[in-house]
């Protein structure tokens, strides 16, 4: 798999973004990880093991489904890359398996991670159970209550859940706590980050394992659907599912790549999580990116109805793709995402994750501007986890 189209420079930057804003002892460890990663991905045994697990444990390649009913309604051909069909229900298992395998090859006995809605935690706990690694998951107290069924599953899989009670008691604080724990124990443990964020080389590692989505999708569109799409659309939290599918098309000049950020309730800082649109350059969790902040540079809370998208920053490569105009970034609010959640469920019999519903909603919006185009949407996950929440808060009328 030769798949990193744009590599970070030797200091870990994509253009102006990324890098390593961390203490020296951690820098030394991350340099070891970087070296091990580039060696291991060249190793045939590692690739064979990964390929075997991707196929037989995760169920890859995930299919591309032509959404006939929705296409008819919208006047465009809508194709869905079915990451919702993966084991554990989302794309996150792709990088978790990769990270856990890498940790194991490096001789680590434990993985440390954080989780918001519990999706990354669940995928990491699953990979850890499979590979016999200890798994510590840091999670905000508020999120623990909200995502009870994922918490139960993680415990069942043998993970330790560590409740975080600082600040807003949610994702940002969970990352802070997980990073602090990792700094104390990096000799034995591996920090399995949940997206293409964090200090170099973490964004590169996660990107590499998610690029499988794009490589498959490019091939599938050509072989099954008469050629490339005009548009590729994906939701963006930290940006891992988006970068994964974008990488399959980044060299195809005629394909327009669109990342969809959550506009939440409004344009006001604190009521959305659209870091590219409303963020300013800053440092978050050891890397430089567009961050939601006030005029004094204090990092602000992110909000979206989709918990998996509410992160105040975004992966450095997305900041770079945006600056170089290699991809476009648009926004979709809570209410449009919820409508799309209902629309896909009713027209196609597929209940999408609220995160992925943002990408579907943008495909619907785009259809008021263009017609007879091929639109490929990355359906990053399934909506089972969201059904209770939707029924309680936005019930069918
Ligand atoms: C976590 C999650 C996301 C957001 O993460 P990215 O790194 O931006 O992909 C999107 N969709 C689903 C289903 C998720 O679980």
The mean pLDDT of 331-335, rounded to a whole number, is: 98
Closest residue by CA, ligand 1 atom 4: 237
- Distance, in Å, from the CA atom of 45 to the CA atom of 365, rounded to the nearest integer, reads 45
Active-site residue among 99, 114, 216, 261?
Answer: 114
* Pocket lining for ligand 1, CB < 6 angstroms: 90, 92, 119, 195, 235-242, 308-309, 353, 355-356, 380-381
Beta bridge partners of 264: 333
Q: Which two tokens stand for residue 392?
A: 């309680």
Give the residue-averaged pLDDT of 163-173.
Answer: 89
Give the separation between CA 106 and CA 201, rounded to whole angstroms. 15
Q: What is the mean pLDDT of residues 27-52?
A: 97
Q: What value does the mean pLDDT take over residues 18-35?
A: 96
Contact yes or no for 127/95 (Cβ under 8 A):
no
Nearest C-alpha to atom 1 of ligand 1 is from which residue?
Answer: 308
For the record, the structure tokens of 98 come out as 């990769």
Residue 219 known to be catalytic = no
pLDDT over threshold 60, residue 1: no
Specify whether the CB–CB gap between 231 and 31 falls below 8 A: no
Among 320, 94, 126, 309, which Cα is nearest to 206's? 94
pLDDT tens digits for range 343-396: 999 999 999 999 999 999 999 999 999 999 999 999 999 999 999 999 999 997
In angstroms, rounded to a whole number, what is the distance separating the alpha carbons of residues 317 and 13?
A: 8
Nearest in space to 150 (alpha carbons), one of 393, 358, 338, 382: 382
Mean pLDDT of 159-186: 93
Q: Give the residue among 47, 165, 35 at the shortest CA–CA distance from 101.
A: 47
List the one residue out of 201, 197, 164 whose CA is nearest residue 284: 197
Of all protein residues, whose CA lies closest to atom 13 belonging to ligand 1?
Answer: 381
Max Cα-Cα span within the chain? 57
Q: d(Cα 138, Cα 344) in Å, to the nearest integer? A: 33
Helices (H), 63-118: 68-74, 92-105
DSSP letters spanning 8-44:
--TTSEETTEE---S-HHHHHHHHHHHHHHHHHTT-H
Is the pLDDT confidence value at 183 over 60?
yes
Predicted confidence (pLDDT) at residue 4 exceeds the cutoff of 70: no
Structural element, H or E, at residue 189: strand 189-191
Give the number of other CB atoms < 10 A from CB of residue 168.
16
Q: Is 380 a catalytic residue?
A: yes
Helix (H) or strand (E) holding 115: strand 110-115
Q: How far is the CA of 361 from the centre of ligand 1 (A)?
A: 16
- Measured from the Cβ of residue 7, the count of other Cβ atoms closer than 10 Å reads 10
Answer whether the bond into residue 201 is a cis peptide, omega within 30°.
Answer: yes
Find the mean pLDDT for residues 92-111. 98
Dig out the tokens for 308 from the structure: 């998996």
Residue of 81, 92, 288, 290 marked active site: 92
For residue 2, name the pLDDT band (cuts at 50, 70, 90). Answer: very low
Residues forming beta bridges with residue 164, ordered by sequence position: 140
Q: What is the pLDDT of residue 117?
A: 84
Distances 107 to 36, 102, 159 between C-alpha atoms, Å? 11, 9, 19
The two counts, helices (H) then strands (E), for the chain are: 15, 14
Round to whole Å and give the CA distance between 41 and 50. 10
- The pLDDT-based confidence of 48 (bands split at 50, 70, 90) is very high
């Amino acid at each position: 798999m030769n798949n990193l189209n744009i590599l970070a420079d030797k200091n870990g930057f994509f253009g102006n973004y990324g890098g390593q804003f961390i203490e020296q002892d951690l820098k030394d460890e991350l340099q070891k990880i970087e070296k091990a990663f580039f060696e291991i991905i060249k190793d045939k045994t590692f690739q064979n093991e990964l390929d075997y697990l991707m196929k037989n444990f995760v169920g890859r390649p995930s299919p591309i489904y032509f959404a006939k009913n929705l296409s008819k309604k919208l006047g465009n051909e809508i194709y869905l890359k079915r990451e919702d069909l993966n084991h554990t229900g989302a794309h996150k298992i792709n990088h978790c398996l990769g990270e856990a395998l890498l940790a194991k090859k490096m001789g680590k006995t434990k993985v440390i991670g954080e989780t918001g809605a519990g999706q990354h935690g669940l995928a990491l706990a699953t990979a850890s159970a499979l590979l016999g690694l200890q798994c510590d998951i840091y999670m905000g107290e508020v999120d623990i209550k909200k995502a009870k069924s994922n918490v139960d599953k993680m415990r069942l899989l043998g993970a330790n859940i560590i409740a975080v009670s600082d600040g807003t008691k949610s994702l940002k604080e969970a990352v802070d706590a997980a990073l602090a724990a990792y700094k104390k124990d990096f000799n034995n443990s591996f920090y399995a980050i949940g997206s293409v964020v964090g200090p170099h080389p973490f964004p590169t590692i996660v990107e590499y394992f998610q690029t499988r989505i794009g490589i498959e999708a490019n091939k599938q569109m050509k072989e099954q659907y008469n050629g490339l799409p005009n548009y590729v659309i994906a939701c963006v939290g930290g940006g891992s599912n988006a970068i994964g599918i974008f990488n399959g098309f980044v060299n195809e000049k005629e394909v327009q790549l669109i990342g969809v950020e959550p506009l939440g309730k409004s344009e006001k800082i604190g009521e959305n999580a659209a870091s590219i649109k409303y963020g300013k350059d800053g440092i978050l969790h050891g890397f430089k990116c567009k961050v939601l902040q006030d005029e004094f540079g204090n990092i602000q809370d992110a909000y979206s109805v989709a918990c998996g998208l509410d992160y105040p920053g975004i992966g450095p490569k997305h900041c770079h793709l945006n600056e170089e105009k290699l991809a476009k970034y648009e926004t979709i609010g809570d209410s449009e995402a919820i409508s799309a959640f209902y629309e896909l469920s009713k027209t196609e019999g597929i209940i999408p994750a609220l995160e992925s519903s943002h990408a579907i909603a943008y495909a619907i919006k785009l259809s008021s501007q263009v017609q007879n185009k091929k639109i490929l949407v990355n359906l990053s996950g399934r909506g089972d986890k969201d059904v209770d929440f939707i029924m309680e808060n936005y019930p069918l009328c």
